[in-house]
Structure 1
Amino acid sequence: MSASLSNLKPIVKLFLTERRRGLILGAALSATTVSAGIALLGLSGWFITATGIAGLSAATLATFDVFMPSAGIRLLALGRAASRYGERLTTHDATLSVLAALRERLFRGWSVPGAARQLARRPARLLFRLTGDIDALDSLYLRVLVPAGVAICAAIAASIALGLMHPLFGLAAGIVLVAAGLGIPFVAGRRAAKHARRRAYGIEAVRARTVDLVAGQTDLLMAGCLDAQRAAIADADRYAACADDRLNRVEAGVTFGFGLTATALLSGSLMAGAALSVAGTISPPVAALGVLMIFAAVEPFGALRRGAMELGRTLLAARRIAPRLSADEDAHRNAASAPGLAFRLNEVTAGYDAEMPVLGDINLDLEAGEKLALIGASGSGKSTLLSLLAAEMQARHGAVECVDATLLTQRTELFQDSVRGNLQLASPGASDVALHGALAAAGLLRAVVALPRGLDTPLGEGGMGLSGGQSRRLALARLFLRDAPLWLLDEPTEGLDGATARDVMSRLVEKAEGRSLVIATHIRREAAIADVIAVMEDGRITDVSRRGEAAFEKALNRLRPD
């Protein structure tokens, strides 16, 4: 539990950093609303009782002031309504603003190297967590922090008011209110935490498995696994429903506990008020005021019931989100290379699975301004080596020294945005002149100018609206906007027709003049521009040759022709 609570620290810190005034104002308005409610109920009880007693005697009735108490009741009623409106407006506005900031911070945390690969490997699970966990954190302020603070303030205020009638009366009422009012939600929260986590995991599994069913129904049908996938969804649904049932039982127990506490407090306050009234310490109207204040002071603790049920889900969300809020981009950078070198790898071992490294004992360096071709069969580790140089992953052993590098992957990643928006991912402040220059260098300027809205033409999901060759050129233009000394390209012309591929390569060579280049390829036309060829087999470099050597031509001849 302590470890889970420690994960809340960065969340609470973000809350206070983003909207400190709004959150404090919302809590103050909530406390005002509760205090006005307690005072309203207590004053109303006193007024009704005092009026009834005054009516027993004509002399008393003639001198009894009904205007001041009735004015106070109206003032408290209006004030309670106004503060309730302000509290709802302020707390929800502050919470939504904080959650918006949390989303931005979290997306920034997920933009560090390696995050895209994790999302690609487990998209459904991580994306559902990304949205569901943030939504779960609105309970932290609205259903845990504010109700707990307001309930404690109400208990203290009621204890002080009752203490003015008799010190022991106020002390006993305050102790019971705090002990039972916080103790019941605390015990319920501990009991509900496991079931809330199970419910979250169950819903997550239902969503992920349903996405797999919808997206892969053809493959599942052909493999004869469609019924098994449906059964898996039903199992996850039953798992979530069982957790829901347990949570409902815990919530029923909390309701019963608060009802029992309220009954015990009311009975005790009635007896205490009667005893003090008989003893002449307080008058009957004051005794009625005390009883009704106790009744109203229990109400704020009831608001913690929902928070107790949501606490497990909130702690789970905080545990999964907190590390991303403090993600350190510098921790993912490679060490700087020596002067005159684009990169140097010394006895490097790396991989995605701790037990099965993809790369082993890699020793390789490249001089600044040179072009290197990595060749080898699929699965030999070429893409992994590029990811290592781009700092998309970290080496387990050995040293990686590299200049700032930009990676162009095999897959063209375009987004449902304008052409301008897709280009400015590489350089947010790039002007139209720079964008046009990059498009011209990639051979796409004429096509973009011909679009209905030019740079502002919207593209569909995945760059829909452009052909495959145009999409690749747009990705290439985005690469040109990155002023990095080392460009890393993973099969840059794969899937393009011969003429388009040759044009792309010629433009790439022209634009890369003076830069270092590493190309992972199995096509001759791509490797032909290299000064150095490194052959990879089973995650190791088996041969390195330079242009002019016999081994260089032999390596080129191994590749697929244009």
Structure 2
Amino acid sequence: MTGKRDLLAVARLFWLGSRSKLLSGALLALATVLCGITLLGLSGWFIAATAIAGLSLTTALAFDVFAPSAGIRFLALARTASRYGERIATHDATLEVLAELRERLFRGWAVAGAARAMAARPARLLFRLTNDIDALDSLYLRVLVPLFSAAGAAIMAGLALGFIDWRLGVATAVFLVAVGLGVPALAARRAHKPARRRAHALEVLRARSVDLVRGQGELIMTGRIMAQREAIAQADERLAQADDSINRVETRVNATLGVAGAGLLAAVLFAGAQLAEAGRIGAPVAALALLVALTATEPFAALRRGAVELGRTLVAVGRVGPRLQQDVGAPANKAPDAPLTAVSMAHVTASYPGGSVPTLANVSLRLKSGERVAVIGASGAGKSSLLAVIAGEMTIDRGAVASLPSILFTQRTELFHDTLRGNLSLADPSAVENAMLAALQAAGLAPMVQNLPHGLDTMLGEGGSGLSTGQARRLALARLILQNTPVWLLDEPTEGLDPDTANDVIARVRQVADDKTLVIATHIRREADIADRILRMEHGRIVADARRGTEAYTIMLESLRPE
């Protein structure tokens, strides 16, 4: 079962996100229900009383039709207004909370270790940010709000019928609470396992479908394409079975609530007839009692869907709740204590989860502010791991790391289906247009942007399609410039670019990074040539350290690939 801490973490986010809207939405939902009960009860009384008053001229002339009709009109308008307000308030509050939740989860999965684990299974990350979060809207819209309204309806019906006969009021309220809340609670329990199976089957189906689309070449070459299709069919079959189980539970809930509602109406009708026969109430009051009982059962029907989906909601809570309990706002590494120090590492050992050999082994390093360092070595020597540890994107096993705020710039350019302005805003959401244009100018993209009909509002395709590889790398460089962090970590920044573009990018990095601390992991001479210091790594250790002007520096620089 879902842990209480996870559920409290999600509930706390709802409560702190839009408390006033959540409360107003619940109160408006209750007002809608109460107006509906009063409206139908008053209408039934008015129709019956009018019919009886019309039997004789004396009673017809004495009967006041204006006050009840005015009350009916007021209740009808109030019910419409409260229903509209309830939909606006509840959905607006829910959408705000879910938007904040997506941002918090995205930041949570960007911390050390989590991002790499999610990157290995992107379908899982997509599922968490879409289906799991969408499932949480049921917690408020389909569980808490209908529950509040249904409880209010039971109390209102009990009070209304209690004025007619206290025994009838108490019996009605107890019946509504026991059956109206008990049946959905039992349905939630019965639907919990199928809902969990459905959530897992849907995630497996999506993951296997994504694997089929992305890896169909490899699957064909290894002869596994048919096996993958069969695996997708099996996941789809399990999903269908779970859907059937949930539908059966929902059908039984509908039938049970329908029978219970009919039984309540029959009981109230019988009690009303007995009271009328005894002369304690008249036909109009009996009609009022019957219609109040009829309307009081409606809010409990709204709990049906929420109860059936509660299992899916609790699964989502269990998945996202632990991430909400973590402090994702804390910096990855603390700042160095020594003045003029940008990065400090003391006897650091780090390894990837499940790895038997550390990627960094007892590494100690100190970089001064403004220093430019190139890190060289064969593939797998630990260069990228060194940058990841400095950036705080990799958890260390032993040692201590301190660094100023840093940003990691890799050969993989992450661009999104958004405008140029939107992609640049990721670096600095508060950046004005002039600052963006200045960053584009520094990165060498200003002439291209000036020739675009929509300028910064030009829409890019998925993954930045519409830009060449060089233009995409320049846009990422503009984003780097715009973020303006003191430490830049460049991991093979010009890999895959043609020589002219690569040389221009490196020249611009040299120009705009005057006051930055640069750490460049590279195999290429042109990238290392801007460094004042070169480190060579082997098997996760720093085995050589040379500064510009020394023979060792020249030898290490000449050993690199020229292009």
Is this a same-fold pair by TM over 0.5?
yes
Looking at structure 1, the residues matched to 151 and 177 of structure 2 have their Cα atoms a distance apart, in angstroms, of: 7
User: 2:396 matched to which residue of 1?
Assistant: 395
Letter in 1 for 2:166: P
Question: In 2, Cα distance between the equivalents of 1:49 and 1:157?
Answer: 22
The one-letter amino acid of 2:157's match is A
Q: Which structure 2 residues correspond to residues 523-534 of structure 1 after superposition, within 5 A? A: 523-534=524-535
Cα distance in 2 for residues equivalent to 1:431 and 1:406: 21
Is 1:341 aligned with 2:344? no
What is the alpha-carbon distance in structure 1 between the residues aligned to residue 44 and residue 482 of structure 2?
74
Aligned 8 A contact 1:404 1:485 in 2: yes
User: Which stretch of the first structure deviates more once superposed, 151-160 or 101-110?
Assistant: 101-110
Contact in 1 for aligned 2:2/2:315 (Cα 8 Å):
no
Q: Deviations over 1:213-249 (max 9, x none)?
A: 2333233222222111111111111111111111112
1:372 aligned partner: 373
Q: How far does residue 147 in structure 1 lie from its aligned partner after superposition?
A: 0.9
User: Are 1:119 and 1:127, in contact at CA under 8 Å, matched by a contact in 2?
Assistant: no
| Alignment-derived partner of residue 319 in structure 1 | 318
Q: 1:406 to 1:169 in 2, by over 3 A?
A: same
Residues 294 and 474 from structure 1, CA distance in 2 versus in 1: closer, same or farther, beyond 3 angstroms?
Answer: closer
One-letter identity of the residue aligned with 1:348: V
Q: CA deviation at 1:408?
A: 0.9
| CA positional deviation for 1:121 | 2.5
Cα offset, 1:489, TM superposition: 0.7
Shift of 1:78: 4.7
Is the aligned partner of 1:34 residue 2:30?
A: no
* AA at the equivalent of 1:493: T
Alignment partners' CA distance in 2, 1:431 and 1:407:
23
Letter in 2 for 1:28: L
- 1:101-500 aligned within 5 A: 101-107=100-106, 109=108, 117-325=116-324, 328-337=327-336, 338-356=338-356, 357-431=358-432, 434-500=435-501
Report the AA paired with residue 202 of structure 2: I
Distance 2:295 2:225 in 1: 57
Greater mean deviation of Cα atoms: 384-393 or 416-425: 416-425
| Higher mean displacement: 130-139 or 229-238 | 130-139
Given that 1:7 and 1:315 are in contact with CA atoms closer than 8 Å, whether structure 2 keeps it comes out as no
Distance 1:446 1:281, change over 3 A: closer
Q: Aligned in 2, Cα 1:173/1:455: closer, same or farther, shift over 3 Å? A: closer
Partner Cα separation in structure 2 for residue 68 and residue 507 of structure 1: 81
1:536 partner SS: strand
1:353 is paired with a residue whose SS is coil
- CA offsets per residue over residues 327-353 of structure 1, 9 Å max, x none? 534434212112232212222232341
Residue 30 of structure 1: how far off its partner (Å): 2.4
118-127 or 48-57: bigger deviation:
48-57
Change (3 A) 1:436 1:162: closer
Q: Which residue of 2 aligns with 1:513?
A: 514
Deviates more, 1:137-146 or 1:540-549: 540-549
1:27-75, CA deviations, whole angstroms, 9 ceiling, x for partnerless residues? 3332233223322333344445556666777876776656655554455
- Do the aligned residues in 1 keep the contact of 2:31 with 2:79 (CA within 8 Å)? yes
Conserved 8 A contact 1:332-1:392? no
Query: In 1, are the aligned partners of 2:345 and 2:401 still within 8 Å (CA)?
Result: yes
Separation of aligned partners in 1, 2:234 and 2:218: 21
Q: Is the deviation greater in 260-269 or in 177-186?
A: 260-269
Contact 1:113–1:332 (Cα < 8 Å) also in 2: no
Hey, what does 1:540 align to over in structure 2? 541
What amino acid does structure 2 have at the position aligned with 1:479?
Answer: L
User: Per-residue deviation at 1:199?
Assistant: 1.2
Distance change (3 Å), C-alpha of 1:424 and 1:255 = closer
Q: Size of the alignment, in residue pairs? A: 561
Change (3 A) 1:288 1:361: same
Inter-CA distance 232–365: structure 2 relative to 1 (3 Å threshold)? same
SS in 2 for 1:481: helix
Q: What letter is aligned with 1:393?
A: M
For residues 71 and 451 of structure 1, the distance between their equivalents in structure 2, rounded to whole angstroms, comes to 63
> 130-139 vs 415-424, which deviates more?
415-424
Aligned to 1:3: 3
Q: By how many angstroms is 1:183 displaced?
A: 1.4
Judging changes above 3 Å, is the alpha-carbon distance between structure 1 residues 360 and 84 closer, same or farther for their aligned structure 2 residues?
same
- Conserved in 1, the CA contact under 8 Å of 2:107 and 2:328? no
| Stretch of structure 1 that moved more, 282-291 or 487-496 | 282-291
Is the alpha carbon distance of 1:62 and 1:208 closer, same or farther for their aligned partners in structure 2, counting shifts above 3 Å? Answer: same
Contact 2:2–2:314 under 8 Å retained in 1 = no
Q: Deviations over 1:459-502 (max 9, x none)?
A: 43333343323332332333233433322110122122334333
Q: Which letter maps to 1:496?
A: L
Structure-2 separation of matches of 1:320 and 1:2: 9
| Amino acid across the alignment from 1:486 | V
Q: Give the Å deviation of 1:318.
A: 2.9
Distance 1:474 1:544 in 2: 33
Moved more, 210-219 or 191-200: 210-219
1:112 and 1:332 in contact (8 A); partners too: no
Deviation string, structure 1 residues 274-300 (Cα, Å, up to 9, x no partner): 444444444454344323322321221
Q: CA deviation at 1:152?
A: 0.5
SS in 2 for 1:489: strand
Task: Name the SS for the 2:394 alignment partner.
Answer: coil
How far the C-alpha of 1:101 sits from its partner, in A, is 4.6
Root mean square deviation of aligned Cα? 3.2
Q: Which moved more, 1:440-449 or 1:407-416?
A: 440-449
Contact 2:419 2:458 in 1 (8 A): yes
Q: More deviation in 161-170 or 261-270?
A: 261-270
Q: Which deviates further from its counterpart, 453-462 or 334-343?
A: 453-462
Give me the identity figure in percent: 58
Q: Structure 1 residues 245 and 424 mapped into 2: Cα distance closer, same or farther (>3 Å)? A: closer
Relative to structure 1, is the Cα distance of residues 300 and 347 closer, same or farther in structure 2, using a 3 angstrom cutoff?
same
Question: Which ranges in structure 2 are unaligned for 5 or more consecutive residues?
Answer: none
Q: CA deviation at 1:102?
A: 4.2
